[in-house]
Amino acid sequence: MDSTFVRYAPSLLICSICKDYFTDPVTINCGHSFCTPCLCLLWEDAQHPTRCPVCRAVSPRMDFKSIISAEGQARAKKESVAKKLPRSARQVCWIHQALKNIFCPTDKSLLCLQCSHSPGHTTHIHCPVSQVAEHCREKLLMQMKSIWENRQRNQRNINKEYNLLRVWQGFVNLRMVMIKAEYPKVYQYLHKEKQKHLESLAIEGKIIFHRLRRNVARMLQMGKLLKRIYEELKEMCLKADVHLLQDLGDIMKRSQLVQAHLPQPVDPQLSEWTITGMSERLNNFRVYITFDDKIRNYRVPLFEDLRRLQCCPDHQDLPHSPASPQYKPSWAAQTFTSGKYYWEVDVGNSQNWIIGLCRESWTKRHDMLLNSEGIFLLLCVNVDDHCRLFSASPPLRHYIPRPQGLVGVFLDYEFGIVSFVNVAKSSLICNFLSCSFSFPLRPFICYGPK
């Protein structure tokens, strides 16, 4: 905005950061008021705790109170101040020596009252300049808020990708250990298949790792671009009416185009590999599981615990919610204390289920969680319309496709092994290795809501 205009303005309506009229004003705890964009940009990279730019008092970062009347006061004062400005500071028609206070949207020109009735404009629709400019500023504010929200969303996505980058190579290495442990159980002629499987897994893991790094780089670049457009939008808000109306179209198009191409987080998945002879080998230990109706209504909060972990990874100390009656847990009638056993469970197309084994003592308790001892489970849970696989305990996500139909469970009690396999693909889902069993194990199944 023109410095001449600001000189005539009351100080109560001036932001102390940008030294201009308030744009979307807010008041912080100490009572000082600022433009929301100015405060957001100032505090974005500020160290905790955030402080008032004027009095340096500590103020919560997001504890803003909107100034309901300030925008209206600023608008009214702008009009009154404009009348006090010298003629050189206002748009004056050089033909009629009258104030140009009418805007023609057809040719985007400023007109005085007499010019608006001239033959070249009689068929055009005209509006007061202040009204059109105010409408444009409202549109700019909406775009600024949208840009800021998308920039915050982009930063959250960057944090998620960084977290995934930190654990990705470890997960790939762990999966390679699982695959290596499975192959010695089959015949020697599978050695070449094993090597090919591991080499392909390593290559695929590196490809996805580089995808994650590229995606993070794109998100960082998008964050800078969103900030730059946000600052341009704020500067546009402060322009004089005539420049605002002339330059508005280009910045709005660029803003919308950038937001339409916001990069999304990668959802990585490793390919499924058929392990030759695995299904035939496991079927040598086939048993059929029956379920005990007397403990069928047992309730466990595992689904809620897993969703809480996924939705609030930074707040894992939140209280646990009780188990929903939609879940249908069941315990097998059999218990195992030695030997090798294999059985299959039909999960169909369900997106919420738990299968595996637990220590016998868990049948009498009601507080089983993901970190509980003595549980060896495979969990599938739908979070934000995405199905994810986990094993517990401890909880670990597996970046492989969700199995549909039959899932096999294999127990080798003496060697301390529990394995889960995709029956349709004859592929390994995951396994627990080097466990130590000194207690009865009971098969467990729980189906959640469809």
Span 349-363, average pLDDT: 88
Task: Tell me how far apart the alpha carbons of residues 354 and 368 are, in angstroms, rounded to a whole number.
Answer: 13
Amino acid 361: pLDDT: 83
Q: Is 151 exposed, middle or buried (0-12, 13-18, 19+ CB in 10 A)?
A: buried
- The predicted-structure confidence for 154-172, as pLDDT tens digits, reads as follows 988 999 999 999 999 999 9
Closest CA to 432 of 414, 421, 419: 419
CATH 3.30.40.10 is right for the domain spanning 10-84:
yes
Instruction: Tokens for 135, please give them.
Output: 């409408």
- In terms of phi and psi (left: phi > 0; alpha: psi -120 to 50; beta: otherwise), the region of 119 is alpha
Where is pLDDT greater, at 328 or 414?
414
Span 27-38, average pLDDT: 84
- The predicted-structure confidence for 42-78, as pLDDT tens digits, reads as follows 877 676 777 888 888 887 765 444 444 445 555 555 5
Between the CA of residue 445 and those of 287, 333, 394, what are the distances in Å?
A: 16, 12, 18
- The predicted-structure confidence for 225-256, as pLDDT tens digits, reads as follows 999 999 888 888 888 887 788 778 788 888 88
Instruction: Tokens for 3, please give them.
Output: 């410095």
Instruction: Tokens for 300, please give them.
Output: 């466990």
CATH 2.60.120.920 is right for the domain spanning 278-311+325-447:
yes
Task: Tell me how far apart the alpha carbons of residues 307 and 154 are, in angstroms, rounded to a whole number.
Answer: 22
Mean pLDDT of the chain: 81
Count Cα atoms within 13 angstroms, Cβ side, for 361. 6
Q: Among 66-75, 215-224, 307-316, 338-347, where is mean pLDDT lowest?
A: 66-75
Asked whether the CA dihedral 150, 136, 234, 15 is positive or negative, the reply is negative
Amino acid 81: pLDDT: 47
- The predicted-structure confidence for 378-428, as pLDDT tens digits, reads as follows 999 887 778 889 998 888 999 999 999 999 999 999 999 999 999 999 999
The DSSP call for residue 338 is S
Over 50: is that where the pLDDT of 312 sits? no
Amino acid 317: pLDDT: 47
Amino acid 70: pLDDT: 46
- The predicted-structure confidence for 263-305, as pLDDT tens digits, reads as follows 998 889 999 999 988 899 999 999 999 987 666 545 566 666 6
Contacts of 377 (CB under 8 A, 6+ apart): 302, 354, 355, 356, 357, 358, 391, 392, 393, 444
Pinpoint the alpha helices (H) of 238-301: 241-260, 278-282
Where is pLDDT greater, at 201 or 34?
201
Instruction: Tokens for 11, please give them.
Output: 């100080």
